[in-house]
């Protein structure tokens, strides 16, 4: 079942996702060579608490794994998603780091991610970041009532292929609301004109994850890595489908 959000619920989704955007914006300022992912996680926790919210990730459990321990996923270079925070994980010049933030407030979830450059990065990595974000932008352009999930998936896959990158296997976006992961599954590959139709009041998290060298992944506990240790980027927005076009909820707003 795909849930439809009422006007009141949409307001709550806006608030949870605004907090996600605030965390991402604040953490971006801290991303420099020498900082640990532990500090980034701690700062995220402070902002979430200041906003009377809770982490959407900490304590989350799935498939027999021990509950996730962190409030953000901090995934460096060949880590695709769900990277751990640690005092020993210090950012170095030339790294790329995906920060993924989940928040729950008033029973509704927000979810968003960005990949940032640490200092000066290679041209290849710059291109990887640019193209992965472009795929997300193009995917959001497909978020029109009566389009289908496959329209979103197809444009993500096409953007990766056209630019010589690989969609990470087995990792997808998702519906979001009272649960972090709701239906529909938002695949990062697929065919136009297939899958569930988009309707007003639907909220989905779209999250392209592109790799430089291979689509194959390796898993260790929570963490997904590229199989060939090439770098990977991840951008995610929670998006509301409505009559006058998509609204990106993982935004700060005007105030």
- Interface with ligand MF3 by CB under 6 A: which residues? 57, 60, 68, 73, 82, 100, 102, 111, 113, 174, 205, 236
The whole-angstrom separation of Cα 80 and Cα 74 is 9
The least CB distance from residue 36 to ligand MF3, in Å, is: 19
| Residue placing its CB nearer to ligand MF3 in the complex, 57 or 166 | 57
Which stretch in 35-43, 91-99, 125-133, 200-208 sits in contact with Co ion by CB under 5 A? Answer: 200-208
Q: Report the run of H or E that residue 231 belongs to, with start and end.
A: none
The least CB distance from residue 228 to Co ion, in Å, is: 24
- Nearest one of 210, 215, 224, 253 to 110, comparing CA atoms: 253
If one asks whether residue 13 binds Co ion (CB under 5 A), the answer comes out as no
The SS3 of residue 237 is: strand
Q: Provide the token pair at 127.
A: 């291109």
Note whether 190 and 155 are within 8 A (CB): no
Residue with structure tokens 């060939």? Answer: 228
| Residue placing its CB nearer to Co ion in the complex, 79 or 111 | 111
Q: Which residues contact 173 (CB under 8 A, 6 or more apart)?
A: 185, 186, 187, 188, 204, 205, 206, 207, 236
| Residue placing its CB nearer to Co ion in the complex, 180 or 231 | 180
Instruction: Provide the mask over 205-244, with x wherever binding to Co ion is found by CB under 5 A and - wherever it is not.
Output: x---------------------------------------
- Report the phi/psi class of residue 134: left, alpha or beta, with left for phi > 0 and alpha for psi in -120 to 50: alpha
| Residue placing its CB nearer to ligand MF3 in the complex, 25 or 200 | 25
Size, binding site for Co ion by CB under 5 A: 2
Note whether 134 and 165 are within 8 A (CB): no
Contacting Co ion (CB under 5 A), which of 95, 111, 182, 247? 111
The least CB distance from residue 180 to Co ion, in Å, is: 7
The SS3 of residue 43 is: helix
The least CB distance from residue 239 to Co ion, in Å, is: 12
Interacting residue ranges for Co ion, rule: CB under 5 A: 111, 205
């Amino acid at each position: 079942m795909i849930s439809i959000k009422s006007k009141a619920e949409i307001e709550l989704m806006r608030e949870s996702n605004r907090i996600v955007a605030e965390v991402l914006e604040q953490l971006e300022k801290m991303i420099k060579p020498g900082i640990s992912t532990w500090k980034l996680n701690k700062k995220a926790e402070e902002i979430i608490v200041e906003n009377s919210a809770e982490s959407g990730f900490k304590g989350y459990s799935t498939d027999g794994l021990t509950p996730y321990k962190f409030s953000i996923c901090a995934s460096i270079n060949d880590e695709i998603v769900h990277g751990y925070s640690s005092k020993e994980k210090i950012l170095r010049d030339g790294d790329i780091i995906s920060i993924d933030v989940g928040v729950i407030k008033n029973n509704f979830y927000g979810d968003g991610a960005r990949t940032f450059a640490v200092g000066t990065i290679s041209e290849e990595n710059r291109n990887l970041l640019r193209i992965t974000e472009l795929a997300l932008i193009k995917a959001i352009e497909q978020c029109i009532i009566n389009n289908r999930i496959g329209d979103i998936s197809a444009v993500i896959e096409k953007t990766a292929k056209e630019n010589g990158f690989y969609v990470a296997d087995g990792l997808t976006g998702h519906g979001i609301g009272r649960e972090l992961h709701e239906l529909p599954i938002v695949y990062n590959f697929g065919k136009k004109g297939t899958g569930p139709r988009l309707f007003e009041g639907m909220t989905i998290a779209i999250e392209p994850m592109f790799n430089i060298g291979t689509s194959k992944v390796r898993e260790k506990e929570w963490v997904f890595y590229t199989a060939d240790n090439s770098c990977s980027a991840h951008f995610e927005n929670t998006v509301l489908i409505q009559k006058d076009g998509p609204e990106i909820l993982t935004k700060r707003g005007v105030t």
